[in-house]
Structure formats: structure tokens, C-alpha cells
């Protein structure tokens, strides 16, 4: 009992001493007190335990950047190419191919390249650079701005004149309309108000992603999505159609309800399963932001229709071509592009089902699509088949297939570096030459696949889009440390992550397309009460603290509390800002 009481008494006193970082008191206590060896052992043991728990005795544990996702050189090249497309001036669609808005529009259309570029950048930001917002936020907003530019959507004034389901195949896999009546003389110009979900659905998804990834409410403002159509008569002003996120979501939801959730038409009289996936994802984002439940009912009812009408054939697990609305007739098909396009998006809200049918789809198309008879006519969908199936493979986590397809593109699609971007230029006659080359390889690369889809597939990890929608980042994410003001031409950010568990910001920079002797970036929302160790390429450079104005030669505190870090960047460099224990900071 005496030993127990003494131990408790000594424990209390030693805990007090050691937690005050006065270890020498305990050492003095050890030398001066006369006691037995047994008591000395107890004191020694207790001192050891307490010292181990004190931060001053803890080594600085530096996170390893290789434990966090990072973009490879080629993946960063794909990202830069899509950002370069976003930065083009209004009306500049160079590298984006041709479009014929008068009679029909194809999957090569600008709207699809713009939309899927935004989805690819969203996946990049979420998975690789969540602590680097400004570049991706500006690119996202710019892509939305390009999406509402008239050259992207005014095709609808012409396409809405035709019932394109009344068409038949002619030579070389092309199609033509078989009927055209007086009823088809007049279309309409508003690209959102009715049908045309192949445009409005993507716009809603883009707006929703932007709002939730960047905590940006700009598209809630009335008229923030304003469409201007050229004057009907000389001397008149343009016709304006004003939308915002709320009106766009309501218009789309109402159309789902009006047609009993069969789906919203793309072209007149044609419902495509894949095109209706995008407004569903857009409504999911809208629900998350606004606390509504619009997507819940749409998903439930649309899935019922898909199952009942066999939009995906249960015997073949292939997605229909389209539904003829007036005839209420499903037109079946076997296209890799349809399965890939529909599957990658439906996976977000119907994951287990898409996973279950993917093996059958893969067996049907892969690897047979990669090589066949020399000069074989692969049909008009060849480029889309490749791009969309690669995207589906990435989302379901079939990394082996993705890598095979990316390697194939690198070998056969003439990859090109331009202004720091990496892409596959569209082949010269991609609009009508669907034949394999003389060795049996794919010889048709369209702008959607070459500019976006292959790059998207290579970047997108398993559950890439699924996580964005099902594991969204909360408000606390936007209070964490992050970086800004990276000079785009001088440096690329291949990794920017804040690890809350380790209270550390991990950033990796690589040289950009323009050489520079030095570059810099700004770190924001560091805790002014904390001292941070600054680590570059594994070497501790020193400590910084805003409250005490503690800085290093390569750093500078700004009046707003941000920290500017400068560096010479001739090769990749990793930076870590690791918060240190308060007792160490106060020493």
C-alpha cells in the first residue's frame, strides 16, 4: 500500500513537471530523494512514459508525397490541353473539328467536347489537386461561358425542325432522312425550354459540378445563364433567353415528369438513355446544394422505365440506340459508345448494376475493337466507341483495360504536345473515313475522343465520378489551407492535397512550358496560431509562423495572412507545410 501511494503521488508530481517541459526538475528529484531501487525504477518508468507523450520529444513526422495521388507528365499534359481549350477566345474552336449545325449535329459537336472537358477537370481537381482551386474554378467557369456562346447551341434552331428518327442508313455508314413535311419547317431557338437534353442536360451537370466543387453561387443569380440569339430582322437587338441554376433545374425536372419519366428527347422524337444520365447527375448536384429531392424521384422512376422498356437489353446487356417517342418503340443497338457513355454516368447512381453488366460489355468489344482486317469499315461510331468505352473502364476500375487503350492511343493516334498540352489530333477525314489502316488498326480519331475522352479516361481513377457525387466535400473543406497564384506558364501543379489527419499541406510543382528562373505560389488559410515546418524535397528548410512573423528567405507573409513561397523550378519539387506541436512552437 505504501508503495502504491508513493507511486500515485510521484506520478501526479512528475506529470505536472514533465508537461511543463521542466525535465531537469524531475532529474533533480531523482538525484536528491533517498529511496529504494524499487522506487527508483517506478520513477524512471513514469518519467519515460511522460516524456514520450510530450511533443518536444516527438520527432517531426513528414508525410511522404508519394502516398498521395499525383498527375504524371502525360496526364498533366491532358489537363493542360483541356484548360487551353477553355482559355480560347469566344468563337475560336481551333483543334475542335468541324460541326454542321444546319441539318444535324454529331457527337463531335462543341458542346460535348466542352462538357466532357469540364467533367475531366472536375475529376482531376477532386482526386489530385483539391487544395488548388483557382485554376480549375476559372477553367470551369470559362467552359460554362463557352457552353452558352451562340455557336455552341444555335444549331437547335435548325435541328428542332426535323424528326431525325425518320432516317435510314446509306453508304459508308451514313444516314439520311426519309421524310420531311411542312410541319418540319419551323424550329425554335431556346436550347433549354423543351427537348434538346443533349445540350441542357450537360449544362445542368456542369453548373452543378461547379457550384459544389468550388462553393460558388454565381449561377444562382437571375440571368447568370443568358442566351443571346442573333436578331430576326435587321435593326433589331438580339433575342435574350435568361436562365439560372434554379430555372434550368425546374425546366428539366418538369420535362421528366411530363413524359412519365421515359426520358427527355434529344433530337425530336428520340430519347437516348445516355443523354438522360447527365441531367440526372445535374439534379443530384442541385439537390445537394439546395436540400431538394428532385433527383431521387427521377432516378427511381427512370430506372423503372429503363427496366420495363429494356433500354438496356437484359439478354445482351447492351444499351438501346434510342426510343422513338411517338411510336413508343425502342430501337435496339450494339454500340460500345452507347454502353460506355451511358454506363460511366449511370454508374454514379446505379453502381452495382453497371458493375454487374460491364464484364459482358467488355467481352463483346474488347480487345476486338483494337485490331481487325485491314481497311475494314468500322462504322461511323468507331472513334466514339474507343473513347467512351475507355471512360467506362476507368470509372469501374478496370485499370488494365484503360492502360491498354491509352498505350494504344499513344502508339497509333499520333499524340502531340502543343503549348504544354498533350492530345491526339483528329484525323484528316474523320467525318467520313471509318476504315482501319493497312495494318488493321483504328484510323479514325475524332475531336471528342482525341481532345478529351482518352485523356479523361487516363486521369479518372476508379469511382472517379462516383466519389464526386456520393462523397462530396463539406463546407469544412473550404476552410482548409490551399494554394493559389501559380503562374500557369511557369509551373504545373501535379499534386495539391491538405491532409487533415496530419495537419499538412502537400504540393508538388513541375516546370511549365515556359522556362523561368524562379516562380512562386501563395498558401492561404494557414492557422496564424500555428508554427509550420516548411519541407522541400524531404529537407526541412525551417519554420514559419504568421503571428510571430517568423519566415524564411524564400517565404514572405502577406498582410492578409497568406504566405508566398518562391523557388527555382528546373525540375519537379515537392513542398510540405507541416503544423508543429504548440509546445515546440512556443519554445
Asked if residue 219 belongs to a domain, the reply is yes
Shared-domain flag, residues 397 and 510 = no
DSSP 363-391: HHHTTTTTB-STT-B--TTHHHHHHHHHH
| Cα distances (angstroms) measured from residue 476 to each of 215, 481, 498, 525 | 11, 11, 12, 12
Shared-domain flag, residues 415 and 556 = no
Going 408 to 414 to 420 to 426, the CA torsion angle's sign is: negative
- When pLDDT is averaged across residues 405-423 and rounded to a whole number, the result is 98
Asked if residue 85 belongs to a domain, the reply is yes
| Per-residue pLDDT band at 456 (split at 50, 70, 90) | very high
Portion of the chain with pLDDT greater than 70, in percent: 84
| Per-residue pLDDT band at 160 (split at 50, 70, 90) | confident
The Cα–Cα gap between 127 and 43 comes to 50
Q: Each residue of 283-316: pLDDT tens digit? A: 999 999 999 999 999 999 999 999 999 999 999 9
Q: What is the CATH number of the domain that holds 556?
A: 2.60.40
Residue 581 pLDDT: 79
Asked if residue 477 belongs to a domain, the reply is no
Q: For cell 524499487, what's the residue?
A: 38
Contact between 34 and 43 (Cβ < 8 Å): no
Residue 14 pLDDT: 36
- Which positions ≥6 away from 489 have C-beta within 8 Å? 420, 512, 513, 514, 516
Residue 238 pLDDT: 87
Cis peptide before 291 (omega within 30 of 0): no
Shared-domain flag, residues 74 and 41 = no
Which of 448, 470, 492 represents a domain boundary (last residue)?
Answer: 470
| Per-residue pLDDT band at 3 (split at 50, 70, 90) | very low
Shared-domain flag, residues 276 and 259 = yes
The Cα–Cα gap between 139 and 128 comes to 16
Residue 214 pLDDT: 98
Whether 532 has a pLDDT exceeding 70, the answer reads: yes
Q: Each residue of 348-397: pLDDT tens digit? A: 999 999 999 999 999 999 999 999 999 999 999 999 999 999 999 999 99
Tally of structural domains, the chain: 3
Whether 29 has a pLDDT exceeding 50, the answer reads: no
The Cα–Cα gap between 279 and 202 comes to 7
Distance of CA 409 to the CA centre of its chain: 21
Shared-domain flag, residues 437 and 524 = no
- When pLDDT is averaged across residues 185-206 and rounded to a whole number, the result is 91
132 lies in which domain range? Answer: 66-470
> How many other C-beta atoms lie within 10 A of the C-beta of residue 527?
14
- Please return the burial class of 244, using the count of CB atoms within 10 Å of its CB with bins 0-12, 13-18 and 19+: middle
Asked if residue 34 belongs to a domain, the reply is yes
Q: Each residue of 341-356: pLDDT tens digit? A: 999 999 999 999 999 9
Shared-domain flag, residues 450 and 542 = no
The Cα–Cα gap between 3 and 141 comes to 72
208 closest CA partner among 267, 282, 157: 282
Shared-domain flag, residues 221 and 336 = yes
Shared-domain flag, residues 262 and 217 = yes
Shared-domain flag, residues 126 and 17 = no
Q: How many residues does the chain have?
A: 587
Shared-domain flag, residues 414 and 387 = yes
- When pLDDT is averaged across residues 271-276 and rounded to a whole number, the result is 98
> How many other C-beta atoms lie within 10 A of the C-beta of residue 514?
13
The Cα–Cα gap between 111 and 149 comes to 10
- pTM for the structure as a whole: 0.88
Asked if residue 6 belongs to a domain, the reply is yes
- Mean pLDDT for all residues in the chain: 88
Shared-domain flag, residues 411 and 543 = no
Q: How far apart are the first and last CA of the chain?
A: 40
456 closest CA partner among 367, 391, 380: 391
Contact between 97 and 108 (Cβ < 8 Å): yes
Q: Each residue of 67-117: pLDDT tens digit? A: 999 999 999 999 999 999 999 999 999 999 987 654 556 899 999 999 999
Which of 424, 443, 470 represents a domain boundary (last residue)?
Answer: 470
Asked if residue 397 belongs to a domain, the reply is yes
The Cα–Cα gap between 367 and 524 comes to 48
Asked if residue 476 belongs to a domain, the reply is no
Which of 36, 57, 78 represents a domain boundary (last residue)?
Answer: 57
Shared-domain flag, residues 257 and 291 = yes
Asked if residue 518 belongs to a domain, the reply is yes
Contact between 225 and 141 (Cβ < 8 Å): no
Q: Each residue of 31-68: pLDDT tens digit? A: 444 444 444 444 444 434 443 343 444 678 999 999 99
Q: What is the CATH number of the domain that holds 207?
A: 1.50.10.20
Paired with 271 in beta bridges are: 323
| Low-confidence winner among 119-123, 226-230, 451-455 (lowest mean pLDDT) | 226-230
- Residue 236 or residue 184, greater confidence: 236
Whether 273 has a pLDDT exceeding 50, the answer reads: yes
- Which positions ≥6 away from 539 have C-beta within 8 Å? none
Residue 171 pLDDT: 57
The Cα–Cα gap between 520 and 504 comes to 19
The Cα–Cα gap between 551 and 533 comes to 10
Amino acid at each position: 500500500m505504501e508503495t502504491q501511494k508513493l507511486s500515485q503521488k510521484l506520478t501526479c508530481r512528475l506529470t505536472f513537471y514533465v508537461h511543463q517541459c521542466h525535465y531537469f526538475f524531475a532529474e533533480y528529484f531523482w538525484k536528491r530523494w533517498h529511496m529504494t531501487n524499487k522506487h527508483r525504477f517506478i520513477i524512471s518508468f513514469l518519467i519515460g512514459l511522460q516524456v514520450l507523450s510530450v511533443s518536444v520529444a516527438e520527432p517531426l513526422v513528414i508525410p511522404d508525397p508519394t502516398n498521395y495521388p499525383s498527375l504524371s507528365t502525360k496526364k498533366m499534359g491532358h489537363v493542360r490541353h483541356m484548360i487551353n481549350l477553355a482559355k480560347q477566345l469566344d468563337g475560336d474552336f481551333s483543334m475542335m473539328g468541324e460541326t454542321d449545325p444546319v441539318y444535324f449535329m454529331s457527337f463531335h459537336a462543341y458542346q460535348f467536347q466542352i462538357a466532357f472537358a469540364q467533367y475531366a477537370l472536375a475529376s482531376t481537381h477532386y482526386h489530385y489537386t483539391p487544395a488548388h482551386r483557382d485554376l480549375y474554378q476559372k477553367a470551369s467557369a470559362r467552359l460554362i461561358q463557352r457552353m452558352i456562346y451562340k455557336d455552341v447551341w444555335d444549331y437547335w434552331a435548325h435541328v428542332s425542325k426535323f424528326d431525325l428518327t425518320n432516317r435510314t442508313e446509306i453508304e459508308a455508314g451514313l444516314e439520311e432522312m426519309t421524310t420531311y413535311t411542312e410541319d418540319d419547317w419551323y424550329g425554335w431557338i431556346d436550347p433549354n425550354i423543351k427537348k434538346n437534353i443533349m445540350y441542357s442536360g450537360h449544362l445542368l451537370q456542369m453548373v452543378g459540378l461547379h457550384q459544389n466543387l468550388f462553393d460558388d453561387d454565381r449561377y444562382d443569380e437571375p440571368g447568370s445563364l443568358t442566351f443571346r440569339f442573333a436578331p430576326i430582322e435587321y435593326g433589331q437587338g438580339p433575342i435574350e433567353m435568361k436562365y439560372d441554376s434554379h430555372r434550368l433545374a425546374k425546366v428539366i425536372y418538369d420535362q421528366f415528369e411530363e413524359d412519365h419519366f421515359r426520358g427527355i428527347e434529344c433530337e425530336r422524337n428520340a430519347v437516348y438513355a445516355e443523354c438522360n444520365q447527365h441531367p440526372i447527375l445535374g439534379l443530384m448536384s442541385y439537390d445537394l446544394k439546395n436540400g431538394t429531392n428532385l433527383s431521387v424521384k427521377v432516378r427511381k422512376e427512370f430506372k423503372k422505365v429503363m427496366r420495363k422498356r429494356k433500354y438496356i437489353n437484359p439478354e445482351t446487356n447492351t444499351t438501346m440506340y434510342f426510343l422513338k417517342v411517338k411510336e413508343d418503340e425502342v430501337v435496339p443497338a450494339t454500340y460500345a459508345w452507347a454502353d460506355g457513355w451511358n454506363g460511366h454516368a449511370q454508374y454514379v447512381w446505379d453502381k452495382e448494376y453497371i458493375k454487374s453488366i460491364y464484364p459482358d460489355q467488355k467481352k463483346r468489344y474488347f480487345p476486338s475493337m483494337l485490331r481487325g482486317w485491314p481497311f475494314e469499315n468500322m462504322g461511323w461510331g468507331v472513334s466514339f466507341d474507343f473513347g467512351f468505352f475507355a471512360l467506362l473502364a476507368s470509372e469501374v476500375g478496370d485499370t488494365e483495360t484503360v492502360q491498354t487503350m491509352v498505350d494504344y492511343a499513344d502508339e497509333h493516334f499520333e499524340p502531340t504536345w502543343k503549348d504544354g498540352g498533350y492530345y491526339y489530333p483528329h484525323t484528316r477525314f474523320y467525318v467520313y473515313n471509318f476504315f482501319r489502316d493497312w495494318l488493321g488498326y483504328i484510323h479514325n480519331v475524332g475531336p471528342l475522343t482525341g481532345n478529351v475522352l482518352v485523356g479523361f479516361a487516363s486521369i479518372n481513377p476508379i469511382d472517379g465520378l462516383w466519389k464526386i457525387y456520393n462523397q462530396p466535400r463539406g463546407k469544412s473543406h473550404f476552410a482548409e489551407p490551399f494554394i493559389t497564384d501559380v503562374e500557369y506558364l511557369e509551373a504545373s501543379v501535379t499534386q495539391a492535397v491538405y491532409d487533415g489527419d496530419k495537419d499538412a499541406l502537400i504540393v508538388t510543382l513541375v516546370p511549365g512550358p515556359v522556362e523561368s528562373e524562379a516562380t512562386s505560389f501563395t498558401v492561404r488559410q494557414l492557422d496564424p496560431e500555428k508554427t509550420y515546418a516548411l519541407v522541400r524535397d524531404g529537407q526541412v528548410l525551417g519554420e514559419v509562423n504568421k503571428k510571430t512573423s517568423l519566415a524564411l528567405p524564400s517565404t514572405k507573409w502577406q498582410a492578409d495572412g497568406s504566405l508566398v513561397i518562391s523557388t527555382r523550378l528546373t525540375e519537379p519539387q515537392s513542398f510540405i507545410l507541416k503544423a508543429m506541436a504548440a509546445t515546440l512552437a512556443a519554445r
